[in-house]
């Protein structure tokens, strides 16, 4: 349980600015029961390490880079966001 004074790590705030990661955490991980859905940002902050978040970003990037998805504008945008996120945080964990 996190209280309202818990500081959200910068990597977590940045992750929710990436559409693919926001979808992963807010939708998929909630539906899979990994997060409770009440305060997803605080849950990710408490339950996921920086390495876990980066790993998820790399997994989502693999989906974007699939040959079937490479021409879809949504996947192109998500891939751009994910690459920027990974490049920013890869050396900091």
Domain contains 73: yes
Per-residue pLDDT of the chain (93 residues), as tens digits, is 445 577 999 999 999 999 999 999 999 999 999 998 889 999 999 999 999 999 999 999 999 999 999 899 999 999 999 999 999 998 765
Domain coverage including residue 60: 17-92
Closest by CA to 48, choosing from 91, 92, 8, is 8
Domain contains 2: no
Domain contains 6: no
**What backbone phi and psi angles, to 5 degrees, belong to 72?**
-80, 125
Domain contains 54: yes
Q: Do 35 and 25 meet the contact criterion of CB atoms below 8 Å apart?
A: yes
Closest by CA to 18, choosing from 61, 50, 48, 51, is 61
Q: What is the pLDDT of residue 37?
A: 84
State how many domains the chain has.
1
Domain contains 5: no
């Amino acid at each position: 349980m996190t209280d309202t004074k818990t500081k959200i790590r910068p990597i977590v705030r940045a992750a929710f600015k990436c559409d693919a990661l926001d979808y992963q955490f807010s939708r998929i991980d909630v539906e899979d029961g990994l997060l409770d859905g009440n305060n997803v940002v605080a849950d990710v902050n408490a339950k996921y390490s920086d390495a876990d978040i980066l790993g998820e970003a790399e997994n989502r990037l693999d989906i974007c880079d699939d040959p079937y998805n490479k021409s879809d504008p949504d996947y192109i945008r998500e891939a751009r966001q994910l690459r920027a996120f990974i490049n920013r945080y890869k050396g900091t964990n």
